[in-house]
Amino acid sequence: MSAVDQAFSPDGPLASAIPSFSARAQQIEMAQRIDEALRENRVLVAEAGTGTGKTFAYLVPALLSGGKVIVSTGTKTLQDQLFNRDLPVVRAALKVPVSIALLKGRANYVCPYHLARNAQDGRFQSPQDAADLRAIARFARVTQTGDKAECTDVREDSPAWMAATSTRDNCLGQECPDVKECFVLAARRTAMEADVVVVNHHLFFADLVLRDEGAGELLPACNAVIFDEAHQLPETASLFFGESLSTGQVLDLARDTRSETIAGAPDCRDLIDASRSLEKAARDLRLVFGAESARMAAAQAEGKPEFGARVEALAEEFARLETILALQAERSEGLAACLRRTQEAGECLQRWRSPEETEVIRWVEVFAQSIALNATPLHVANVFRRQLEGHPRAWIFTSATLAVGQDFGHYCRELGLAWLEPPPLTAVWGSPFDYAEQALLYAPEGMPDPNAPTYAEAVARRALPLIRAARGRTFVLCTSLRAMRRIHELIVAGLEDANEDLPVLLQGEGSRSELLDRFRRLGNAVLVASQSFWEGVDVPGDALSLVIIDKLPFAPPDDPVLAARIEHLQKSGHSPFMHYQLPRTVINMKQGAGRLIRSERDLGVLCICDPRMIDKPYGKVVWRSLPPMRRSRVEADAVAFLERLPPPPSR
């Protein structure tokens, strides 16, 4: 019996050390396949349904492998859970002398230099920000890691964190006067020495980009990389293999330049004036666009009056600031860093205006207070494949949602895995949950076309009887913010008309973690949300018994990145719908549906309102990719299922 088989056996170390542990056949098979891939330095792409226990399935062979392993997760929440809970439990059970480390991006660690500089500066947006910065300063004096997740006295989204952390742009590196106290460097040193390092996808790709520039540290030293929540990788890779310059970054540069000028060159008035002119140029560029947030192709933005002139003005102000900074940079490390940032931002703007690469999508995103000029690669397959071919090591890609049916073709093509030699190993393990008994898939009859102006009203009308039958305990997942707000409004009104006293929460009323805590605590709430809650959200038990999805989550066809990729596929003779749009929609649907059943005891109804799932030929691909639930088109069946559920706990 192999060490991995022994670990999962009924009398093995996991069962002995963890009272609630019970191995599942799917989990054991998955662990065996991962162990094989680790030993043979192979690429394995594995889908494991909810409840498989994939975390233990990859941690056990990773800890027993004897090599250095990077585990990359989709979110910082999962990162913390792995490092603080799962890894220590498995390591203790296996009794292996493996050192572990947690490494996050620099924005997650207190920066002593910027904390002291901004605390001394004393300029805050509100008294609360000032109080938060004082609390961070107290935390910095006692913490061993500097990780802001450990500072429970200050909200994660407090503006004070921006004043207490560094960015890649404004970090002074080895020139920093506080380099010996740097939490980021300490975390990196620990990670370099550890056997297992837990990172997130954003940090992994940031390190990959640095490696291409000769500065990456993590990847060259490891024997294996395991990606959990691997369905997020194509999107994250596009972000990091591309370039972006936002007016927010420009404003930060202008503010930092003023701060460093006051500290290091207080007699240089020209530098203060130049930073203010740069700031004005950035704000003027944002004013070209109206109040609405938007995403558009570069050509569409360039067609707007004054856009070209404002971009030109911004480029001129970068050049002016660079000229003055070049004369002052020797006076302090901070001013030298501002010069480097100004040069890099000016060069980025020049590349965006006159791209050298042909297979780049240039587009503009407009936010409430800023805009970003983006250059995204048309595809990341070639760039990512180069990383895989660079050094013999094992690569494991796993998630609950990677395949369309049993087919990984879409995923493997997107990341360049399809052209590897030898080809990647693939495997699908379904969930061990008894979906036929635990869940019902309900597709309402008589729904209008999803593009009809009254579609939101139809969704709310179908949702209300189910919400009342479930006594709250509902997620309503919407494909757009506009639909989310309208459906929320209609559900609130409908419940009031029916004299139903159920709390109805709306995405945006608090942070995601705050809303989830309230939802769980209330026990009878309705949460109306959009993309943020389609994945990475775990509400096991009776607090969630109904998930309603308004539409199949097709990306809007006018999205500039999607439009460019569709055009490229058409020119290549492929069907964009079948090769790209439908597979992505199926994977997103599986994520949304996966919110419902999270344990062997969960029961619930999944209601998908979109009539295309039934009426269109491709709809069959969608519902056949979902877990094998009982299916019905009759409202009374869904209501009866929900009415049989145990009542929510009394408040």
pLDDT tens digits for 498-526? 999 999 999 988 878 888 889 999 999 99
Burial 235-272 (b: 16+ CB within 10 A, else e): ebbbbbbbbebbbebbbbbbebbbbbbeebbeebebbb
Please report whether residue 186 resides in a domain: no
Is the domain of 504 the same as that of 389? no
Asked whether the predicted pLDDT for residue 215 surpasses 50, the reply is no
Please report whether residue 651 resides in a domain: no
pLDDT tens digits for 400-455? 999 998 899 999 999 999 998 899 999 999 999 999 999 999 999 999 999 999 99
Q: What mean pLDDT is predicted for residues 298-325? A: 95
Segments forming the whole domain that contains residue 550: 435-643
What pLDDT, on a 0 to 100 scale, did the predictor assign at position 429?
94
Please report whether residue 188 resides in a domain: no
pLDDT tens digits for 313-341? 999 999 999 999 999 999 998 899 999 99
Question: Hunting for tokens 């991006």 — which residue is that?
Answer: 105
Provide DSSP, 128-164: HHHHHHHHHHHHHHH-SS-BGGG-TTS-TT-THHHHH
What pLDDT, on a 0 to 100 scale, did the predictor assign at position 138?
93
Asked whether the predicted pLDDT for residue 216 surpasses 60, the reply is no
Half-sphere exposure of residue 584, counting CA atoms within 13 Å on the CB side?
A: 18
What is the residue-averaged pLDDT of the chain? 91
Is the domain of 369 the same as that of 315? yes
Report for 154-168, 235-249, 447-461: range of highest mean pLDDT = 447-461
Provide DSSP, 162-187: HHHS--TTT--GGG-TTGGG-HHHHH
What pLDDT, on a 0 to 100 scale, did the predictor assign at position 281?
97
**The last residue of a domain, from among 138, 153, 181:** 181
Residue 214: pLDDT band with limits 50, 70, 90: very low
Q: Indicate left, alpha or beta for 41 from its phi (over 0: left) and psi (-120 to 50: alpha).
A: left
Please report whether residue 257 resides in a domain: yes
Please report whether residue 145 resides in a domain: yes
What pLDDT, on a 0 to 100 scale, did the predictor assign at position 650?
62
Q: What mean pLDDT is predicted for residues 43-61? A: 94
Is the domain of 494 the same as that of 608? yes
pLDDT tens digits for 540-562? 778 899 999 999 999 887 889 99
**Domains in the chain: how many in total?**
4
Question: How is residue 407 annotated by DSSP?
Answer: B
What pLDDT, on a 0 to 100 scale, did the predictor assign at position 537?
79
What's the whole-model pTM score? 0.88
Is the domain of 441 the same as that of 545? yes
Is the domain of 610 the same as that of 582? yes
Please report whether residue 649 resides in a domain: no
Sign of CA dihedral 551, 552, 558, 559: positive
Is the domain of 630 the same as that of 525? yes
CATH number for the domain spanning 349: value is 1.10.275
Asked whether the predicted pLDDT for residue 620 surpasses 80, the reply is yes
Half-sphere exposure of residue 301, counting CA atoms within 13 Å on the CB side?
A: 27
Q: What mean pLDDT is predicted for residues 130-141? A: 91
pLDDT tens digits for 277-292? 999 999 999 999 987 7
**The last residue of a domain, from among 377, 394, 421:** 377
Asked whether the predicted pLDDT for residue 217 surpasses 70, the reply is no
Rounded-to-integer distance, Cα 464 and Cα 452, Å = 20
Is the domain of 339 the same as that of 390? no
CA 1 to chain centre: 39
Structure-block tokens of residue 75: 């979110």
Please report whether residue 650 resides in a domain: no
Asked whether the predicted pLDDT for residue 213 surpasses 60, the reply is no
Contacts of 407 by beta carbon, 8 Å cutoff, 6+ apart: none
Q: What mean pLDDT is predicted for residues 367-382? A: 92
How far is CA 151 from each of CA 86, 107, 171, 543, rounded to the nearest angstrom? 22, 14, 22, 29
Asked whether the predicted pLDDT for residue 527 surpasses 70, the reply is yes
CATH number for the domain spanning 484: value is 3.40.50.300
Is the domain of 65 the same as that of 159? no
Report, in this order, helix, strand and coil percent for the chain, each rounded to 5. Answer: 55, 15, 35
Is the domain of 336 the same as that of 264? yes
Burial 50-68 (b: 16+ CB within 10 A, else e): bbbbbbbbbbbbbbbbeeb
* Percent share of the chain, pLDDT over 70: 97
**The last residue of a domain, from among 144, 159, 181:** 181
Is the domain of 225 the same as that of 358? no
Rounded-to-integer distance, Cα 121 and Cα 117, Å = 6
Rounded-to-integer distance, Cα 287 and Cα 263, Å = 32
Is the domain of 159 the same as that of 207? no
Q: What mean pLDDT is predicted for residues 218-242? A: 88
Asked whether the predicted pLDDT for residue 220 surpasses 70, the reply is no
Is the domain of 513 the same as that of 535? yes
Residue 127: pLDDT band with limits 50, 70, 90: confident
pLDDT tens digits for 62-79? 999 999 999 999 888 889
Please report whether residue 189 resides in a domain: no
CA 604 to chain centre: 27
Residue 168: pLDDT band with limits 50, 70, 90: confident
What pLDDT, on a 0 to 100 scale, did the predictor assign at position 87?
96
Q: Are 72 and 227 within 8 A, CB to CB? A: yes
What pLDDT, on a 0 to 100 scale, did the predictor assign at position 463?
97
